[in-house]
Amino acid sequence: MTTVLSALAPRWDGPVVAALEGSGQVRIARRCADLADLLAAAAAGHGRVALVGADLRGLSLSAIARLHEVGVAVVGVSDPGDEATELRLWQLGVAAVVEATAAPPDLVAAVLAAAQAPGVAEPDPTAGDGFAAGPEVSVLPVLVREQRGRVLAVWGPAGAPGRTTVAVNLAVELATLGHETLLVDADTYGGCVAQTLSVLDEAPGIAAAARSADLGTLDLVALARLALVLGPRLRVLTGIPTASRWTEIRGAALERVLDVGRSLAAWVVVDVAAGLEDDEELSYDTLAPRRNQATLSVLDAADALVAVGGCDPVSLQRFVRGLQELGTVRAPTPLVVVNRVRPGAIGSDPERQVRESLARFAGVGDLHVVPDDPVALDAAMLAGRALAECAPTAPSRRALTALAARLAGAGDHVDAGHRPAGSARRTGLLGRRGDPTRI
């Protein structure tokens, strides 16, 4: 017999509970007064399925994710004919939604199907996969993508190896190659994408998007409005300005942002922080947010990963240890990039020495090298532009262009509107800076 936790509004609690218990297949283990009661009962293992309504105070995507983590499936109960309520439940990650006035056999079938599901997966909010078809999401036609985009995480160990520089320029190069690209600053320790591109970040886009996702209101149009338009194919979600705001970027909410981003862009390039430690075991409160959850969530959701390290001996040592630690978390196999390769740091023939060192100590056989290019990089930072605009023929830019082409598998197959690399300055690749209204 399936045990159920009920957290419904009084007007529906009685009829729904009576319909379920009358079937003989479902037992109501607890009728919860509020969200805290529901989470406590779920954590104690009192139920396999939770019935929730969209009007449950405090209900959020993070709360639904917490129920999933403790092995409790969630069935949403909506008012009859209320598409807005149903839509919100879908966007909160509820896998099945059923009307409160549905026939008792349909209510029982929804609960039993949720209990027998092999795993709890976040549904597509634009299509039903349960007992009630998901309401159609209203989006602008220009935003609809037939194919889902890919998430590219850019990670590197502590010590400023150039994660943001690589992430920003990879995003620009992917856009230049003809791919719709969304650049996301998810570094919760020291995000600086906005400063790198001279974008006003009075209201951090990532914080607003995560908040909207947690409340179940983030859809394609909302994300498009939050992502600033920097060029014909490039948007950016700016990061939090201070590390003290890291609690605003919850893991489940960030995963939802990336999921919607896949429908907005062909490539979602995410700059993440260095920390990989999972401090959940150090916390007495298992519901408390984890400091590195943003990074871990992005790595888990990513389709591709670029790991960036520095060239000098200290940076290489950190990189080797970081790659070992990276192997202990859920993440794609990284494409290893060593940045700022120069003879002054490790002697003559630096590329050979870097390759030999990483092959010996980290088992890295496939390595991409970005040469040190202080003049071009300083000019780009001063202007708040990408290398494609400030130094289109610089060696560092050529290396990053090759890396972007490799990631995208672009080769010679680029969009019809793609222009030669040297024309970025003339065409104004980032000409429309920080326009939040163009969608």
Domain ranges of the chain: 2-116, 144-427
- State pLDDT tens for residues 64-87: 988 988 899 999 998 888 888 888
User: What pLDDT does residue 260 have?
Assistant: 94
* CATH topology match: 2-116 vs 144-427: yes
Q: What is the mean pLDDT of residues 260-268?
A: 96
CATH class of 144-427: alpha beta
Question: DSSP of 127-146, one letter per residue?
Answer: S--SSSPPPPP---GGG--S
- State pLDDT tens for residues 281-327: 555 555 667 889 999 999 999 999 999 999 999 999 999 999 999 99
Q: Whole-angstrom Cα distance, residue 370 to residue 310?
A: 10
- Residue 84: CB partners within 8 Å, gap ≥ 6? none
Question: What is the CATH number that goes with domain 2-116?
Answer: 3.40.50.2300
User: What pLDDT does residue 116 have?
Assistant: 85
Q: What is the mean pLDDT of residues 202-206?
A: 83
The DSSP code for 250 is -
The DSSP code for 75 is E
User: What pLDDT does residue 128 have?
Assistant: 34
- Residue 430: CB partners within 8 Å, gap ≥ 6? 172, 197, 230, 231, 234, 385, 386, 389
Q: What is the mean pLDDT of residues 203-217?
A: 90
pLDDT-derived band at 118, boundaries 50, 70, 90: low
How large is the angle between the packed helices 293-301 and 251-264, nearest 10 degrees?
40
User: What pLDDT does residue 141 have?
Assistant: 34
Contact predicate 304/332, CB 8 Å: yes
Write out 342-394 in H/E/C secondary structure.
Answer: CHHHHCCCHHHHHHHHHHHHHCCCCEEEEECCHHHHHHHHHHCCCHHHHCCCC
Q: Give 228's strand partners.
A: 236
Q: Give 23's strand partners.
A: none
